[in-house]
């Protein structure tokens, strides 16, 4: 069922779990991710990031996502991930998304606040949930995207969210989700990830009425993910771990093929692997260990 992200976040807060926010840039991923959510019986957010337009235009992606979400047996929000400009975001609104991340984190705090407030005034009456970001998420993506070039990862603390800035931002914008930086990285990690849970707890303390989001879930040890959930994270973005999971299996499949190999068989196998990886991640987001 297609729902508002805020509704899902309220249940996640009440029951101490996190909403997995997963990019689905093709129909194989879309089908696999929704099937996994139905298997685990947990709400999810399916994302279309602005930088994915070059692979699948939003005019194709979002109507398909909305249709699948409406037919699903679990609550699903269709989400703009890292919307960078108003033109793209308003196009998404017309196509039927139920939540938006307006990423102005590269701007000074005051400008970030002003931009996010401007969008909130435009979409508030439509019942569309709004996510924003304070602090800067470092990037180490397998493929560099313009505007999201690789970051210096030698000292992640330089990217951390300042609790006071987070407090001011939430008080002045009233966003539904605030994504914070406390040790996670977009893409691949160099070395062992280490989330700053005490920093997360400080931010949670001063933003009691706002759901907190974490991007860069891929590669973070699951015990740290569940500590973050127990300390207040309510939305976690995953993409790299899911999107790269089929590659080694498909390579082996192709190498071991005895004769011609139909593409539909490759696609079916990719969907199976994405499904299995998503189920694994969703069980962590369900935070069953913390509730047992």
Residues with a known catalytic role: 81
How many residues does this entry show for the chain?
292
Contact 120, 101 (CB under 8 A): no
The whole-angstrom separation of Cα 60 and Cα 237 is: 22
As given in the structure block, the two tokens for residue 169 are: 């931002």
Q: Contact at 8 Å (CB) between 90 and 59?
A: no
Annotate 236-276 with DSSP letters as a single string: EEE-HHHHTTHHHHHHHHHHT-SS---HHHHHHHHHHHHHH
Residues 182 and 179: their CA atoms lie apart, in Å, by 10
Do residues 101 and 80 touch, judged by C-beta distance below 8 A? yes
- Structure tokens belonging to residue 173: 């914008």
User: Do residues 277 and 241 lie in contact, with contact meaning Cβ atoms separated by under 8 Å?
Assistant: yes
- Copy the structure tokens of residue 43: 């709400």
């Amino acid at each position: 069922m297609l729902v508002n992200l805020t509704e899902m976040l309220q249940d996640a807060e009440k029951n101490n779990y996190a909403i997995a926010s997963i990019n689905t840039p093709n129909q194989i991923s879309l089908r696999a991710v929704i099937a996994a959510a139905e298997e685990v019986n947990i709400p999810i957010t399916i994302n279309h990031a602005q930088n994915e337009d070059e692979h699948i235009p939003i005019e194709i992606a979002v109507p398909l996502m909305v249709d699948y979400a409406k037919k699903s047996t679990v609550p699903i929000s269709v989400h703009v991930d890292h919307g960078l400009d108003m033109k793209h975001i308003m196009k998404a609104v017309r196509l039927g998304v139920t939540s938006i991340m307006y990423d102005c984190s590269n701007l000074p705090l005051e400008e970030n606040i002003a931009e996010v407030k401007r969008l909130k005034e435009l979409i508030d009456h439509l019942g569309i949930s709004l996510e924003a970001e304070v602090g800067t998420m470092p990037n180490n993506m397998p493929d560099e995207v313009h505007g999201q070039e690789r970051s210096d990862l030698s000292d992640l603390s330089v990217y951390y969210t300042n609790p006071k800035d987070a407090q001011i931002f939430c008080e002045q914008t009233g966003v539904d989700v605030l994504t914070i930086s406390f040790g996670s990285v977009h893409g691949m990690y160099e070395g062992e990830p280490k989330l700053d849970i005490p920093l997360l707890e400080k931010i949670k303390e001063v933003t009691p009425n706002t759901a907190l989001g974490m991007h860069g879930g891929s590669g973070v040890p699951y015990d740290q993910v569940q500590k973050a959930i127990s300390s207040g994270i309510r939305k976690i973005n995953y993409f790299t771990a899911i999107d790269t999971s089929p590659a080694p299996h498909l390579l082996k499949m192709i190498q071991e093929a005895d004769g011609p190999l139909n593409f539909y068989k490759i696609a079916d196998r990719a969907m199976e692997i994405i499904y299995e990886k998503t189920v694994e991640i969703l069980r962590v987001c369900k935070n069953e260990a913390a509730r047992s």
